Structure 1
Amino acid sequence: MSTVAWITTRGLLGRRRFLLLLPLPILMVGIALIPRFNGINASDWTQPVIVALGFTTLLPIVALIVGTGVLGAEIDDGTITHILSKPLARWRIVVPKLLVAIGVTAATAAVPFYIVGALASGPRLGLGLIVGSTVGAVLYSTIFVALSLISRRPVLLGLVYVIVWEGLLSNLVSGTRVLSVQQYALTIADKASSSPLLSGNVSFTVAVVMSIVVAVGFLALAIRRLESFSVTGETS
Structure 2
Amino acid sequence: MSTVSWITARGLFGRRRFLLLFPLPVLLVGLAVLARSAGVDAAQWGQPVVYGLGLGVLLPVTALIVGTGVLGSEIDDGTLLHILTKPLPRWQIVLPKLAVATGVTALTVAVPLYVAGVLAESVRFGLGLAAASAVGALAYSAFFLALSLLTRRPVLLGLVYVLIWEGLLTNIVSGTRTLSVQQYVVTLTDRMAPSVLLDGSVSLPVAIVMTVLFTLGFTALAIRRLRTFSVAGETS
Shorter-chain TM range is over 0.9
Question: How many percent of aligned residue pairs carry the same amino acid?
Answer: 64
Q: Report the TM-score when normalising by structure 2.
A: 0.97
Q: What is aligned with 2:188?
A: 188
Contact 2:105 2:137 in 1 (8 A): yes
Is 1:67 the equivalent of 2:67?
A: yes
Partner secondary structure for residue 70 of structure 1:
helix
Partner of 1:84: 84
Q: Summarize the alignment of residues 86-101 of structure 1 with structure 2, pairs less than 5 Å apart.
A: 86-101=86-101
Contact map agreement 1:71 1:145 (CA 8 A) in 2: yes
Structure 1 CA distance, aligned partners of 2:132 and 2:46?
15
Per-residue deviation, 1:235: 5.8
Please list the CA deviations of residues 137-180 of structure 1 after superposition, one character each: whole Å capped at 9, or x if unmatched. Answer: 01110100000000011111111111101111112321211111
- 1:28-60 deviations in Å (ceiling 9; x for gaps): 111112221222221221111111101111101
Pairs within 5 Å for 1:197-236: 197-234=197-234
Counterparts of 2:170 and 2:15 in 1: how far apart (Å)?
33
Contact 1:59 1:137 in 2 (8 A): yes
Mark the runs of 5 or more structure 2 residues left unpaired by the alignment.
Answer: none
Three-state SS of the structure 1 residue aligned to 2:199 is coil
**CA contact 1:84–1:230 (8 Å) conserved in 2:** no
Within 2, Cα distance between the matches of 1:56 and 1:92? 32
Structure 1 counterpart SS, 2:69: coil
Secondary structure in 1 matching 2:70 = coil
Matched letter for residue 34 of structure 1:
L
Deviation string 1:181-205 (CA, Å, 9 cap, x unpaired) is 1000111011111233321111111
Q: Which residue of 2 aligns with 1:117?
A: 117
Number of residue-to-residue matches in the alignment: 236
Output the amino acid matched with 2:106. A
Q: Is the 8 A contact 1:136 1:181 kept in 2?
A: yes
For 1:223 and 1:81, the matched residues in 2 are separated by 15
Paired AA for residue 99 in structure 1: A
Q: Which runs of 5+ in 1 are unaligned?
A: none
Q: Structure 1 runs of 4+ off > 4 angstroms?
A: none
Task: State the match for 2:154 in structure 1.
Answer: 154
Residues 195-221 of structure 1: per-residue CA shift (max 9 Å, x gap): 333211111111001111111110111
Equivalent position SS for 1:39: coil
Aligned Cα root-mean-square deviation (Å): 1.3
In the alignment, which residue of structure 1 is the partner of 2:42?
A: 42
Change (3 A) 1:145 1:120: same
